[in-house]
């Protein structure tokens, strides 16, 4: 039971890492303040979508169909977030951390899609339970990668006197 709940919490936590990537930017390089303001807007927008998904998700981790729907929802949020984040043109000071964040989210999307494929093949709740208690080191590593990049971005903002909450620390 504990492992199933931790897996569900991990899925939700992964979704929360997407909080930075739901709105797009322009075609020119942004200055630091513009960039971080857009990231903050992105965070708020994505968090609202995740909250709605979680509120509407009943039976996740217990029943196959609600779990599939939840993971499908997270995939959609991730895809949109990545597309929007790729549209941002960060200033040079934030570019490496931004690129690392995009790479980490891309990795999480691939892992989430693989989970969706595995869920599509399930036929019984016992198979779902077995899947959810399996340790998933790649997901943990990808989540750490995203969190590290997010904290790097938070540090860049703070180091330049820009107050934003990117959910780090």
Higher pLDDT, 117 or 135: 117
In the prediction, which pLDDT does 66 show? 94
Task: Give the pLDDT band of residue 169 (cuts 50, 70, 90).
Answer: low
Q: Tell me the mean pLDDT in the region 160-167.
A: 91
Which helix (H) or strand (E) segment is 23 a member of? none
Decide if pLDDT at 17 tops 70: no
Residues, the chain:
169
Structure tokens of 168? Answer: 């780090």
Reduced to 3 states (helix: H, G, I; strand: E, B; else coil), residue 58 is coil
pLDDT for position 27: 62
SS3 60: coil
101: pLDDT strictly greater than 90: yes
- Split at pLDDT 50, 70, 90, the class of 6 is very low
pLDDT at 134: 79
pLDDT-based confidence at 146, cuts 50/70/90?
Answer: very high
**145 to 26, 97, 133, 160: CA distances (angstroms):** 26, 11, 22, 23
Residue of 114 and 135 predicted with greater confidence: 114
Residue 3 has pLDDT above 90, yes or no: no
pTM of the model: 0.80
Averaged confidence pLDDT in the chain = 84
Q: What is the pLDDT, as a whole number, of residue 136?
A: 81
DSSP secondary structure letters along 45-108: HHHHHHHHHHHH--STTTSHHHHHHHHHHHHHHHHHHHHHHHH----HHHHHHHHHHHHHHHHH
């Amino acid at each position: 039971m504990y492992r199933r709940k931790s897996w569900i919490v991990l899925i939700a936590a992964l979704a929360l890492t997407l909080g930075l990537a739901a709105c797009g930017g322009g075609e020119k390089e942004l200055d630091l303040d513009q960039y971080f303001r857009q990231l903050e807007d992105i965070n708020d927008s994505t968090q609202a979508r995740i909250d709605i998904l979680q509120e509407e998700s009943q039976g996740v981790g217990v029943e196959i169909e609600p779990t599939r729907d939840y993971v499908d929802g997270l995939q959609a949020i991730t895809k949109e977030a990545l597309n929007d984040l790729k549209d941002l043109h960060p200033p040079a000071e934030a570019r490496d951390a931004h690129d690392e964040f995009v790479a980490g989210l891309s990795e999480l999307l691939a892992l989430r899609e693989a989970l969706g494929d595995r869920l599509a093949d399930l036929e019984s709740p016992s198979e779902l339970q077995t899947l959810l208690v399996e340790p998933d080191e790649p997901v943990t590593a990808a989540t750490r990668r995203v969190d590290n990049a997010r904290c790097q971005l938070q540090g860049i903002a703070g180091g330049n006197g820009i107050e934003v909450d990117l959910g780090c620390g």
